[in-house]
Structure 1
Amino acid sequence: MLMPHRPCVLPEGSSRMRAPLFPAILAPALLMPVLSTPVLAQASLQPVPAKPVAGKAAPAPAETVNVYGQGSTRQLTSVTSKALREAAPGTSPEKVLAQLPGVMFQSADPFGAYEWSESLYIRGFSQTQLGFTLDDVPLGDQQFDNYNGLSITRAITTDNVARADVSQGAGSLDIASTSNLGGAVQYTSTDPKDQYGGLYEQTFGSNSTYREFIRLDSGDLNPTGTKFFVSYARVDLDKWKGGGGNDSDQVNAKLVQPVGAYGTVKVYFDYSRTHQFDYQDESLNYIQTLGYHLDNFYPNYPAAYRAAEGIFANGETKSNDPLDASYYAGTAKRQDFLSYASYQTELAPELDWKSTIYGHGDSGYSTWTTPYTPSPNGAPLSVRSMNDSIERYGFLSSLEWTHGRNTLEGGIWYENDQFDQSRIFSEAPLLTPGVTFDPSETLNNPFAQPWGYVFNTDTVQTHIQDSYRVTDHLTLRAGFRSLLIHTGSTVTAQDPAYNGGNQVGSGALDANNAFLPQFGMNWRFAPHNEIYADISHNMRGYPEDGYSTNASNSPWSANEAAFRQIQQNLKPETNWVYEAGYRLTTKRFVGLLTYYHVDFKNRLQIISTGPVIAPTTLVENVGGVTSNGIEASATLFPIRHVAFYNSISFNRSIYDNDIVTSGGLEPLKGKVIPNYPSLMYKTSLDWTDGPYNAHIDGNYLSHRYLSYLNDTSVPNYFIANLGARYTLGDHGPLKAVSFSFNVYNLLNHKYIATMGENGNPFSGDYQSFLVGAPRQFFGSVTAGF
């Protein structure tokens, strides 16, 4: 996103707490009478192992950390449950994905679960341009103000993730996503275990971290194979700098019921509640003048109050913008319900069918205590909040027919999504002796509502593809998807006095493309050796966001007059992705080498004019980006019990066009995109011998540009992490008792993590990054029963 410098805009999020969705509460209850019918109980039912699907990664060997998609026509790499377990319990799966080539994940906290700072890039595409699913259910656009989904940490507890498959270049045709321009991440949850048992885990560590996780597996309950699990996770921790902390509760449950000789019903439920305090967004100037540990004033309200009045007592005047370095607090609350029911069966020999229905409800809000808008009671501060809520329902259905050398597969995805969003201002308290407050508890009596929207989106995606096995060693794949997205918006409230005098824009937009093809090839030209190639055409739907948020390139961020212009000629973003690579798979060595080229067209960009506090925004098509890159990965098993993994990736993504703004011509052509490094190197050494396990991993990133014109950048860094586990085994009623210890940022390196959360400047410095956490220690005790 390109914009002139403006004061920092802290996280903005969601609104009133909605009741749980009908499917989330009732889907298991509705299915239970069906699952317990006498007909099913009398049958001898056993689940049938799923057939391998062309283009999907093969199951990982137990001893490997990462696995490459053997047989796939695309680059496909995976993180296994073993790698997820080696991270400190509660670590976001996205942070573990950072081991993979071309993948960069950043966060200001050691667990990668602080959502305002979550930043995932793959081959230069940000998380808002990637596709994400859990058990085929779409997780939507992963921006902070997610309008059509939720983060993976709120969709499932990490302990219940079985694997994560990453298509770095382009997602498969069947992925349910409207944003996968640059690849896809597909998570799979664990199934209930066949044997009755449970698991209890406690984690303690730096910043008063306390986490507990408990899971109960029913085992097979009857001859039909009915089984379920239910789990609960609780997290409490302080921020590593400043006041406040993060806490969350999460419940997962999953039921599996075999049906007949070939069918299986699965029902999943997730409840998540989070409350997070923000870290201060920083700039290069702030680090140089105020130091690495600059943070919001919370809970010191008097200091923030006086700073809003222009009285600075902590050296803020050394910086180039004392007021923007003196916020009281930012907070975020979220509550989610997610549920799905799926049925998979063999309708006839060589004909498989799978269908899933799902529902998701999200509600909450995020706050920013701003010194730029005073309260009517005389306080120089007020609490600005973004209130969001989501209600979405959908279904997916697909058929796969294997006949001779052909495997035909096709399906449909439909979703209806209602997204409500509003901005309000509430009073901050007057300064009295001993006063302090949590901004997230002050929203009951707002004094202003600048705007409110209701977005309603219908998405229909169909796809069909054929995998043709030319010979036993050569497979060709071809297919296409059609994607139709209609979004309409209605303004429910607006106050021009708080919108720079502007009426906010509203109306409908369509992002449609009936033919998005994908072609692929895999040739196993010698034992253990294969070559693959893939070409795909992709489209991204229009992101949804409110007026002048500047948080995403949403057409609805414009005023009414500008939006009417946008409706006439705006086109959705598209790209062509080309990749080719080589895989080598042997007992002692597994390797991957890939080259890719991307032509990204119709790039939508926010162009801002007017005052920096309340700019007028217009989204325009400002050209394209061309990317070229190469990635190499290898896992070596030099001796028994040892796995040594390395990957290196190089990316050069440059802008194709200069652009014109209110400030004149910006010479953007040939400049490298900001926020993403040109060079990354990842390494890990893993040793497992009986009850002992130890691993060390490292991640190197080259410098990243902060400005679009590449005249400011943040330095390169190398982060190392260490972990060890010892399993005692069984002791009485306790099974597989183990102790683990993890050190994050082993060398205690100071570095800049997230970038661009508030956008990027054309030139110079900007308050739009977060520093990474220092060295952290975590210990865990785990016991089964």
Structure 2
Amino acid sequence: MIGAPAFAQTAPQPATSSAPSAKKPAHARHGAAKAAAPAASSGGTHVSVRPTAAPRAAAEALDVTASRHVSHGAEASISRAMLESQVAGTNILKSVGQLPGVSFSSSDPLGIDTWGTSVYVRGFFQDSIGMTLDGIPLNDQTYTSVNGVNIADAWISDDIQGVETSQGAGGVDLPGNSSLGGTMRFHTSDPKNKAGAKVSQVFGSYGTLRTYARVDSGALNQTGTKFYTAYSRSDERKYDADTPGFMQTVNGKLVQPIGHDSRITAIFNWNDAEVWGYADKSLSILKNAGWRTESWAPNYRGAYNASEYAWMNGDGNSGTCTPACTGPGAYDVGSGTPLVFPAGTTPTIPASWQNTNEGVGTAYYDAGQSTRDYLGGIDADLALTNALRWNTVFYAGAFDGHATYGDPWTQSPGTGAPLSEEVWQNAYRRFGFTSAFTWHVGRHTINVGGWYENNSQRAGLYWYNEPVYGQGTPLQTVGPYTTYGAAFQQGYGFTWNTNSFQFHVMDAWRPVEGLTVTYGFRSMLQTTSGGADYGNVDAGYGTGVGVKSGLPSGSMTSAAAFLPAVNLDYHFGRGHEVYFDFAENMRPFMVAPSGGSVSPWAVSSQHAFRELQRHLPNERDFTYVVGYRYTSRKLQASIDGYHSDVYNRLISASVGSLNNPITSVVNSKHAVMWGMDAALTLQPFEGLARGLAWTNSISYNHFTYADHVNICPLSGDCDIKGTKMLAYPQVMYKTSLSYEYKGASAHFDVNYYGKRYFSYMNDTHISPYWMANLGAKYRFGNLSVLKNVTLAFEVYNLFNQKYIAMMGENGFPIGGQSGDGGDYQSLERGAVREYFGTISAEY
């Protein structure tokens, strides 16, 4: 049933016979499976005098505000002070997650495992939020995406000066292909005018260590040339297994002033992450095997035993061995390769696993990723006249990623081991530029500009030999993978080339005092060509390329000539503000390989892809925001409502377990979203209590699918009309009590996350939970040659709440008549209570 709705299966339906299915455990760690100082602007439709320049004023000062963020129109600016309230090295999106309407979750406290992190902004996932770093588009923030770079990998969080977020429709001047539901503009800090250095060290639970060092050159000459370079290293061990997470980053920035009001800046970042991820859970696993069910590593014997059990009992997708799995000369009937069940091993799995839906697949030997990211850019911000500025950014980025898990069903022909290591290898090379003119004339600020990017992307799936137990060291999830020979099997290979163009015009008009009207439009054109260049039918991936049943290959173009945006922002009386925001946005087609991905190229056949080429429209969203805000020293209050009509959003529906996956790409046709956010900050006291502030916010979101779409047509009626959005809570409440006095400060934060639906038919869900964090800091000031000596202490998950963080990393179950029971191995547990201490100093 292709067309409207566009429905395409990415794996064949299981045969009615009892024969084993193809060996294709579609674990989605290859990525894209995851279906989150006030600017001189005029609300949600952002207009900036310097669209890509970092804030310059008081670059070396510490901006401390009681409310911890400053709002203007449909925007909020997060200061360096708020960023520093988190543990040093924490994913910067966690700070954004404190804003009303934003939901951030992570499986580890620091958020460095991008497989287990997600962010939603008023119902829009992190693959649909426009993000830039100093004007460079970051695009899709999902795990190992070949369309962008996660902000956690793009820059050291200590060197981010601030964040401007729009929870409205976003700005037409923001470059990128993921801007549907809001924007985030990250600004790097400038080098200091005086030479110096800064060092900080974090100590935490479960062996957590995080080191940061930065050196500033100071002004090197009379023109003001200056730079800094910084290094960070994070090590954190999993709380329920003896496997680590590691990330190191080097970044640097050079600033060359030109005259009194122009400058050229250059930035560069290198990131290396090696992470053993947490095991994916299902409702069945949580109920029968327990919340602490984890990957086997480093217990290779346990994983070997489980794989032997799979072969002997026909569990999952393993083959058939003869004459006997444990006898001499045993081999796989299908491939003829030997199987070695050595002495000291026993074909068995934990008894509790036998009660789960996943069996041997309840947990694998290991799972994780090894990634390398590179990002660089040159920004020329030039004052051509007193009224005309020209800003141009040239940038380039590269990514190489290996995402893995130990496959208990595919034997290693080079060694005879019954299991192997499955590795997804994703990469991209992208370059581009943005250029814009800003002209101040009378009561108008006119901005005209464009963006171009070329992205060469590839994705492949490979299997590598593991050793026989007792005859070698098992492979590590972060590599190297060729210890026992080159890859013995390839599942698929994809290559694409994507060209993106964007043009925008906007005007900020101030007709009367206090009123700013911003209006404009953007045009977008994106073409992607390419697709599969290899498909291995024996591994369950197509029969070739260019034939009806082969993997998808071909081009798709997304085009929109006129995407309008209008914003009104009116300040009146003393501290009063009302604003209105509207925009139409389009999301181009994204690329991803076969599996649990939301992409036209993720379908299982060329025939299905051609049908999508003919009939699948782009997602288009129409978003409206209206709000009111009052600001005074003792009270800040705001309330706003929003509405979105979402057309042609693709969803990824996953049926069954990882042992026997059936994943579909579905056009949901139309969805409707209504919501509201309200916030109140009180700072009523004077004297010693002046630094006491209490902030509260509540958010409500009502997202429902509005059209009849049957997402399980081969097994029953699974009409999603009227069902609610998955993974995003309908209700959130956040409260923060903070106090500052001289060099001391403390904060106590509590967040409530309401029920989150897990299946598309809404028959399963994750229960609500409360999360509390506590922190204290003391600034000692200058001690001898050291400056700004600071000591901080933080407690994450203060009350040791048991909760689910990430949802849908492998796709979502359907439920209803689909036969999957509304369950799927696609949940990540959040971390237990952990403690962190930080000491930092400057010189």
Q: When the two structures are superposed, what TM-score results if normalisation uses the length of structure 2?
A: 0.85
1:502-533 CA distance string (max 9 Å, x none): 42111100011010000111122322111100
Match of 1:67 among 64, 69, 90: 69
Write out aligned runs for 1:168-247 (5 A).
168-247=167-246
User: What is the alpha-carbon distance in structure 2 between the residues aligned to residue 688 and residue 289 of structure 1?
Assistant: 47
Is residue 2:519 matched to residue 1:478? yes
State the SS of the aligned residue for 1:394: strand
Offset at 1:278? 1.1
* More moved, 670-679 vs 234-243: 234-243
AA partner of residue 359 (structure 2): P
State the SS of the aligned residue for 2:141: coil
Offset at 1:405? 1.3
Aligned to 1:17: none
User: What is the alpha-carbon distance in structure 2 between the residues aligned to residue 453 and residue 738 of structure 1?
Assistant: 50
Is residue 2:370 matched to residue 1:333? yes
User: What is the alpha-carbon distance in structure 2 between the residues aligned to residue 421 and residue 500 of structure 1?
Assistant: 14
Offset at 1:247? 1.1
Query: Are the counterparts in 2 of residues 192 and 256 from structure 1 also a CA contact under 8 Å?
Result: yes
User: What is the alpha-carbon distance in structure 2 between the residues aligned to residue 365 and residue 122 of structure 1?
Assistant: 29
State the SS of the aligned residue for 2:566: strand
Query: Are the counterparts in 2 of residues 299 and 437 from structure 1 also a CA contact under 8 Å?
Result: no
Change beyond 3 A, Cα 1:541–1:620: same
Offset at 1:612? 7.5
User: What is the alpha-carbon distance in structure 2 between the residues aligned to residue 584 and residue 418 of structure 1?
Assistant: 48
Is residue 2:729 matched to residue 1:727? no
Match of 2:836 among 773, 778, 781: 778
1:531-574 CA distance string (max 9 Å, x none): 10011000011111112x21333434332111111111211111
State the SS of the aligned residue for 2:152: helix
Offset at 1:604? 2.1
Match of 2:40 among 52, 56, 59: 52
Aligned to 2:538: 497
Is residue 2:558 matched to residue 1:511? yes
State the SS of the aligned residue for 1:286: helix
State the SS of the aligned residue for 1:497: helix
Query: Are the counterparts in 2 of residues 371 and 381 from structure 1 also a CA contact under 8 Å?
Result: yes
Change beyond 3 A, Cα 1:61–1:643: farther
Aligned to 2:492: 451
Offset at 1:780? 1.0
Unaligned stretches of 5+ residues in structure 2: 1-6, 15-23, 49-54, 310-347, 544-549, 816-821
Query: Are the counterparts in 1 of residues 358 and 659 from structure 2 also a CA contact under 8 Å?
Result: no
Aligned to 2:137: 138
Offset at 1:430? 1.5
Aligned to 1:400: 438
User: What is the alpha-carbon distance in structure 2 between the residues aligned to residue 437 and residue 616 of structure 1?
Assistant: 29
State the SS of the aligned residue for 2:557: strand
User: What is the alpha-carbon distance in structure 2 between the residues aligned to residue 610 and residue 776 of structure 1?
Assistant: 35
AA partner of residue 645 (structure 1): T
User: What is the alpha-carbon distance in structure 1 between the residues aligned to residue 463 and residue 409 of structure 2?
Assistant: 11
Change beyond 3 A, Cα 1:510–1:10: closer
Change beyond 3 A, Cα 1:154–1:290: same
Is residue 2:558 matched to residue 1:540? no
State the SS of the aligned residue for 2:723: coil
Query: Are the counterparts in 1 of residues 517 and 567 from structure 2 also a CA contact under 8 Å?
Result: yes
Change beyond 3 A, Cα 1:713–1:554: same
Query: Are the counterparts in 2 of residues 742 and 778 from structure 1 also a CA contact under 8 Å?
Result: yes
1:172-201 CA distance string (max 9 Å, x none): 111112111111111111111122211111
State the SS of the aligned residue for 1:633: strand
Offset at 1:600? 0.1
User: What is the alpha-carbon distance in structure 1 between the residues aligned to residue 91 and residue 653 of structure 2?
Assistant: 34
Query: Are the counterparts in 1 of residues 421 and 475 from structure 2 also a CA contact under 8 Å?
Result: no
Aligned to 2:337: none
Aligned to 1:604: 650
Paired residues, number: 747
Offset at 1:13? 5.6
Aligned to 1:683: 735
User: What is the alpha-carbon distance in structure 1 between the residues aligned to residue 108 and residue 477 of structure 2?
Assistant: 21
User: What is the alpha-carbon distance in structure 1 between the residues aligned to residue 350 and residue 71 of structure 2?
Assistant: 57
Is residue 2:61 matched to residue 1:11? no
Query: Are the counterparts in 1 of residues 636 and 682 from structure 2 also a CA contact under 8 Å?
Result: yes
Aligned to 1:565: 611
Offset at 1:114? 0.9
User: What is the alpha-carbon distance in structure 1 between the residues aligned to residue 589 and residue 219 of structure 2?
Assistant: 46
Offset at 1:139? 0.8
Identity percentage over the alignment?
34
Aligned to 1:355: 392
Aligned to 2:317: none
User: What is the alpha-carbon distance in structure 2 between the residues aligned to residue 214 and residue 509 of structure 1?
Assistant: 46
Aligned to 2:684: 638
Query: Are the counterparts in 2 of residues 566 and 620 from structure 1 also a CA contact under 8 Å?
Result: no
Alpha-carbon RMSD across the aligned residues, in angstroms, is 2.3
Aligned to 2:86: 87
Change beyond 3 A, Cα 1:610–1:704: closer
Query: Are the counterparts in 2 of residues 753 and 771 from structure 1 also a CA contact under 8 Å?
Result: yes
Write out aligned runs for 1:302-321 (5 A).
302-310=301-309, 311-313=348-350, 315-321=352-358
AA partner of residue 740 (structure 1): A
Unaligned stretches of 5+ residues in structure 1: 15-48
Q: When the two structures are superposed, what TM-score results if normalisation uses the length of structure 1?
A: 0.91
Aligned to 2:345: none
Query: Are the counterparts in 2 of residues 609 and 662 from structure 1 also a CA contact under 8 Å?
Result: no
Query: Are the counterparts in 1 of residues 529 and 555 from structure 2 also a CA contact under 8 Å?
Result: yes
Aligned to 1:718: 770
User: What is the alpha-carbon distance in structure 2 between the residues aligned to residue 750 and residue 446 of structure 1?
Assistant: 40
Offset at 1:309? 2.0
Write out aligned runs for 1:608-619 (5 A).
619=665
Change beyond 3 A, Cα 1:554–1:563: closer
AA partner of residue 470 (structure 1): P
Is residue 2:639 matched to residue 1:583? no
User: What is the alpha-carbon distance in structure 1 between the residues aligned to residue 204 and residue 657 of structure 2?
Assistant: 46
Offset at 1:501? 4.5
Query: Are the counterparts in 1 of residues 532 and 553 from structure 2 also a CA contact under 8 Å?
Result: yes
1:11-64 CA distance string (max 9 Å, x none): 2269xxxxxxxxxxxxxxxxxxxxxxxxxxxxxxxxxx9993444599996323
Aligned to 1:44: none
Write out aligned runs for 1:275-424 (5 A).
275-310=274-309, 311-313=348-350, 315-376=352-413, 377-424=415-462
State the SS of the aligned residue for 2:384: strand
State the SS of the aligned residue for 1:128: helix
User: What is the alpha-carbon distance in structure 1 between the residues aligned to residue 238 and residue 224 of structure 2?
Assistant: 45
Query: Are the counterparts in 1 of residues 593 and 601 from structure 2 also a CA contact under 8 Å?
Result: no
Is residue 2:805 matched to residue 1:753? yes
Query: Are the counterparts in 1 of residues 370 and 401 from structure 2 also a CA contact under 8 Å?
Result: yes
Query: Are the counterparts in 2 of residues 740 and 780 from structure 1 also a CA contact under 8 Å?
Result: yes
AA partner of residue 65 (structure 2): E
State the SS of the aligned residue for 1:583: strand
Change beyond 3 A, Cα 1:694–1:617: closer
Query: Are the counterparts in 2 of residues 129 and 141 from structure 1 also a CA contact under 8 Å?
Result: yes
User: What is the alpha-carbon distance in structure 2 between the residues aligned to residue 604 and residue 407 of structure 1?
Assistant: 37
Query: Are the counterparts in 2 of residues 645 and 683 from structure 1 also a CA contact under 8 Å?
Result: yes
Offset at 1:658? 2.8
AA partner of residue 166 (structure 1): T
Query: Are the counterparts in 1 of residues 700 and 731 from structure 2 also a CA contact under 8 Å?
Result: yes
Offset at 1:714? 1.0
AA partner of residue 27 (structure 2): V
Query: Are the counterparts in 1 of residues 656 and 824 from structure 2 also a CA contact under 8 Å?
Result: no
State the SS of the aligned residue for 1:315: helix
State the SS of the aligned residue for 1:664: coil
State the SS of the aligned residue for 1:648: strand
User: What is the alpha-carbon distance in structure 2 between the residues aligned to residue 173 and residue 487 of structure 1?
Assistant: 22
State the SS of the aligned residue for 1:348: coil
